[in-house]
């Protein structure tokens, strides 16, 4: 009856991941692709449960993650989406390319909540706090806008229901159908506005960039993870140099002194530094870089592999 247990919990390591563990996990996924987390720890030589490996990869190691603080725009997006969706962090994250639910959840709890409270807005209900408190607040523009929308919401006397989510999703689908773009599994990030009870407008967030939806990230095959061998590491900086701890020789890690400079959009999905970093990982002693296929990929010019393909369809579309 049932499946085999995913892992023997006895003797499994917990707590922060070491650089060595990160390297093992990255090596394994780049070699074997992303599938069957249950088998990953054993095959990768890790004393972790599959769940822990999955979380580490999806929340921290995935190369398509945008790192650093959320931009103002992303923050506003999170607030808007939270107003409609509540604490459905994964749904919210699916509209923010390169961001994880965990990251958004943390940012909400540590930054946005405080900001909203300062503005006299209840972060949970998105409605004004007690009027006495609200009257003390400065009347800045964002607050007025938020209050206006909240008043509108109150006028309608229609509390948001689960149904709203379905409407949003159907609207998003409609929107995606209308937008002419290469067929990929990615979805454009959008701004969702609920003007009237039944009127939801979807506005593309990033018209010029390819969309991305974490919810839709398929299992990744090894050949879908393209790592450039470019030596043209630029001075652009990643905001969190977790790979710095991997003790790679002869590699000057980007300076991370100015966190603001590294913030959000400065770190492209396919930042040269990051790609170079992964490449260096692959060239580590315990990796067989003589493997024919991978060598071929590694030796290709960066311009040919400027992005990581997240599914076969888009991968083929982008490259050929």
Partner DNA sequence: AATGCCCTCAACCGCCGCAAA
Partner DNA sequence: ATTTGCGGCGGTTGAGGGCAT
């060595």: which residue's tokens? Answer: 20
- Binding part of the chain for DNA, among 107-115, 222-230, 276-284, 294-302 by CB under 7 A, reads 107-115
**Any idea of the CA torsion for 34, 37, 38, 40, to the nearest 10 degrees?**
60
Task: Find the part of the chain contacting DNA (CB under 7 A) among 8-16, 131-139, 197-205, 276-284.
Answer: 8-16
Cα–Cα distance, 6 to 15 (Å, whole number): 19
Question: Can you read off the two tokens belonging to residue 107?
Answer: 């940012």
Choose, by CB under 7 A, the member of 55, 248, 268, 300 that binds DNA.
55
Stretch that binds DNA, among 30-38, 250-258, 300-308, 312-320 (CB under 7 A): 30-38
Ranges within 240-259 binding DNA (CB under 7 A): 240
Q: Which residue has tokens 């394994």?
A: 28
Of 36 and 316, nearer to DNA (C-beta) is 36
Out of 76, 105, 167, 307, name the contact with DNA by CB under 7 A: 105
- Sign of the torsion formed by the C-alpha atoms of 95, 117, 264 and 23: negative
Q: How far is the CB of 162 from DNA (least distance, A)?
A: 12
Our finding on whether 186 is near DNA (CB under 7 A) is no
Token duo for residue 114 = 């405080």
Residue 11 or 16: the one with the smaller Cβ distance to DNA is 16
Q: How far is the CB of 82 from DNA (least distance, A)?
A: 10
Q: What is the DSSP letter of 243?
A: G
Q: Decide if residue 122 touches DNA (CB under 7 A).
A: no
Using CB under 7 A, count the residues that bind DNA.
Answer: 44
Choose between 15 and 159: whose C-beta lies nearer to DNA: 15
Minimum separation from the CB atom of position 289 to DNA (A): 26
CB atoms near residue 228 (< 10 Å)? 24
Helical (H) or strand (E) element with 174? helix 163-178
Task: Work out whether 103 is an interface residue with DNA (CB under 7 A).
Answer: yes
According to CB under 7 A, which one of 76, 107, 127, 167 is a site residue for DNA?
107
> Residue 143 to residues 81, 117, 121, 152: CA-CA distances in angstroms?
17, 11, 8, 14
Q: Is residue 33 involved in binding DNA (CB under 7 A)?
A: no
Token reading at 196: 């009237």
Q: Which conformational region is residue 17 in: left (phi greater than 0), alpha (psi within -120 to 50 degrees), or beta?
A: beta
Structure tokens at 153: 């919401």
What are 138's two structure tokens?
């400065």
Positions in 147-176 near DNA (CB under 7 A): none
Residues in contact with DNA by the rule CB under 7 A? 1-7, 13-17, 35-38, 48, 50-52, 54-56, 58-60, 69, 87-91, 101-103, 105-107, 109-111, 114, 215, 240
């Amino acid at each position: 009856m049932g499946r085999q247990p995913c892992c023997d919990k006895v003797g499994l390591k917990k707590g922060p991941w070491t650089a060595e563990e990160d390297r093992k996990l990255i090596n394994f996924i780049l070699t074997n692709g992303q599938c069957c987390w249950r088998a990953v720890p054993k095959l990768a030589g890790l004393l972790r449960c599959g769940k822990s490996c999955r979380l580490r990869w999806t929340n921290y190691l995935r190369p398509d993650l945008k790192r650093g603080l959320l931009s103002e725009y992303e923050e506003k997006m999170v607030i808007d989406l939270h107003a409609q969706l509540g604490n459905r962090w994964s749904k919210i994250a699916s509209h923010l390319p390169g961001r994880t639910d965990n990251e958004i959840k943390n940012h909400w709890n540590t930054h946005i909540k405080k900001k909203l409270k300062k503005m006299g807005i209840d972060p949970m209900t998105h409605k004004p706090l007690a009027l006495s408190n609200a009257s003390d607040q400065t009347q800045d523009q964002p607050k007025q806008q938020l209050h206006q929308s909240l008043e509108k919401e109150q006028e309608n006397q229609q509390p948001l229901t689960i149904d709203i989510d379905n409407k949003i999703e159907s609207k998003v689908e409609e929107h995606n159908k209308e937008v002419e773009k290469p067929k990929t599994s990615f979805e454009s990030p959008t701004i969702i506005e609920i003007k009237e009870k039944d009127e939801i407008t979807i506005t593309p967030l990033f018209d010029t960039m390819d969309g991305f939806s974490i919810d839709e990230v398929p299992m990744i095959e090894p050949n879908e993870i393209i790592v450039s061998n470019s030596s043209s590491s630029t001075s652009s900086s990643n905001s969190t140099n977790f790979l710095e701890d991997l003790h790679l020789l002869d590699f000057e890690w980007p300076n991370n002194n100015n966190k603001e400079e590294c913030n959000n959009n400065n770190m492209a999905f396919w930042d040269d530094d990051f790609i170079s970093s992964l490449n260096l990982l692959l060239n580590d002693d315990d990796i067989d870089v003589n493997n024919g296929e991978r060598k071929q990929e590694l030796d290709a010019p960066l311009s040919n592999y400027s992005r990581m393909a997240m599914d076969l369809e888009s991968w083929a579309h982008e490259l050929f």
